[in-house]
Structure 1
Amino acid sequence: MVGLLILKQLENLSNERVVLQFKRNPYYQYFCAHPNYTPDVPCNATELVYFRKRIGTQGFGKKLLFKTFFIKIHIFIDC
Structure 2
Amino acid sequence: MAWAQEFGHTNVTGLLNANLKEEKAADKKLNTLAEGDLNRKAAGRMAAARATSPASRTGAAKKSAARKSPPRKTTARKPAKRTR
Provide the TM-score with structure 1 as the length reference. Answer: 0.32
**Higher relative contact order (Cα pairs below 8 Å, separated by 6+ residues):** 1
Higher helix share: 1
Provide the TM-score with structure 2 as the length reference. Answer: 0.30
